[in-house]
Structure 1
């Protein structure tokens, strides 16, 4: 296993980050235990979760993933220092979480305390804002005209950010969290937090996690360049595009137990004829390279300049093994050229 420094945190994290969002819906406690222990054996020392999980988000599944991790930690307390644990506070829009309202400074400490209780730990290594209060060009909203920037009150949002940052800093001082990070944000959001931190002598964000994969490369190059030069770790989530890049959904297939049999929420805006064409070509490239389509997608993501650690998720141990193995694969120049040609032929397929 290879390791990278997590932004300005000084923490060394594995190039693989174990995602957990299926635990509590598609995976039970025993299966989660198995995944955690296998990942640790393979040298994975980075785990990501969220108060909102399990996925798909519902009132019934809220907090279940953190509770599953906490159950494991309650039986393996001596292993807490073996890995970096990251979780997230949910943003607006979910009525069962703080009434669906914006994140406010007063929400931070109670939400941290609730996560600590569910996780059964004394501290969180990286506490992340799951998405900002303003609408950002994520979740299919990255096409011109989908959202507006000119009607956003930047001053009001900046003041809100400062108050949130001060609350995060208090949690750091109290020893409840060690660092904070962002998620589903933009260069403006990153740089506002950095600017506020510099002006007010407050901590800077150490990371950001955004969707990034062979079907969705909008963060390259501008946001990733920003992360590199501002020393903010870039953490791709959904490197398999909600499972699409495995090829398992080609030609309308819906394998039993797969996420799309539970919900099409994440598949609807990604599942396009253009995506189908791109995946078909990528599956052929993987076959030529004698690796699986999932491994092709993950190995490609890992080698992108500026990527710190890639967040993977699996519903079976076999999938987890296949995914972690991908990070030992060095793609040939021939394969990288074929991938590059495919990207140029199918830019922004969703």
Structure 2
């Protein structure tokens, strides 16, 4: 297993981060235990979760994943100090999480306390803001004029960001969190947080996790360059595009127990004709290389300059083993050239 520095922090994280959002819906405690134990045996030391998990997010699944991880931690205290746990405070929009309100200082303090209780730990290694209080170009909103920049009150947003940083500082000073990070943010968001942190001697964000895959490269090179030069780790989430890049949803398939089988079809915006055409071509390249489509996608993501650690998820141990093995694969120049041609043909398929 290879490791990389988590931004400007002193943490060395595995190039593979174990995602957990299926634990509590598609997976139970026993499944999670098997995945965590196997991941640690392979040298993975980085686990990512969130207060809003499991997914699909509902009032009934809220907090379940952290609780499952906390159960594991309670039985493996000796391994806690060598395991880097990342979690997130939910942003606005879900009525069952703080009445759907925005992230505030009070929300940060409250959420940290509840996450610590569910995780059964004294500290969180990386505490992240799951998404901004303002609308951002994520989750299918990246198309021009999908939302209006003019609707954002910049002064109010900066004030909220400063308040959030001050609350994070309180938690850092109390030893409840070690480092702070972002999720689903933009270059403006990152730069504003970094600027405010410098001005007011508050915690500097060490990382950002955004969607990034063979089907979603909107962060390259502009946001990733910004991260690199500011020593902010870049953590791709959904490098398999919610499983689409594994090929399992080809020809309209919805395998029982899969994530898409649990979702309202109208909400699966990644399932476009262009996306399926791209996946078919990537699957052919994988076949020619004698690896799986999922391994091709993960090996490519791991090869992109600026990527620190890719967040993978699995619903069974076989999938997890397949995914971890991808990080031992080095794609040669010919394979990368073929992949680049498909990217150019389908630069933004959803």
TM interval, short-chain normalised: over 0.9
Query: Structure 1: which 4+ aligned runs deviate by more than 3 Å?
Result: 264-267
Give 5+ residue unaligned stretches, structure 1. Answer: none
Match of 1:44 in 2: 44
Q: Is 1:33 aligned to 2:33, yes or no?
A: yes
Pairwise mapping of residues 1-350 of structure 1 onto structure 2 (< 5 A)? 1-264=1-264, 268-350=268-350
Report the aligned-residue RMSD. Answer: 0.9
TM-score, normalized by length of structure 2? 0.99
Write out per-residue CA displacement over residues 109-167 of structure 1, whole angstroms, 9 at most, x where no aligned residue. 11101000000000000000000100000000000011111221111100100000000
Distance 1:51 1:266, change over 3 A: farther
> How far off is 1:322 after superposition?
0.3
> How far off is 1:267 after superposition?
6.0
Write out per-residue CA displacement over residues 78-122 of structure 1, whole angstroms, 9 at most, x where no aligned residue. 110121100000000000000001111111111101000000000
Indicate if the aligned counterparts of 2:260 and 2:268 stay in contact, CA closer than 8 A: no
Write out per-residue CA displacement over residues 22-79 of structure 1, whole angstroms, 9 at most, x where no aligned residue. 0000000000000000000000000000000000000000000000000011111111
Write out per-residue CA displacement over residues 289-344 of structure 1, whole angstroms, 9 at most, x where no aligned residue. 11000000000000100000000000000000000000000001111000000000
- CA distance in 2 between counterparts of 1:234 and 1:205 reads 11
Q: For residue 82 of structure 1, give the secondary structure of its aligned residue in structure 2.
A: coil
> How far off is 1:202 after superposition?
1.1
> How far off is 1:264 after superposition?
3.6
- CA distance in 2 between counterparts of 1:158 and 1:280 reads 44
- CA distance in 1 between counterparts of 2:138 and 2:48 reads 19
- CA distance in 1 between counterparts of 2:270 and 2:159 reads 35
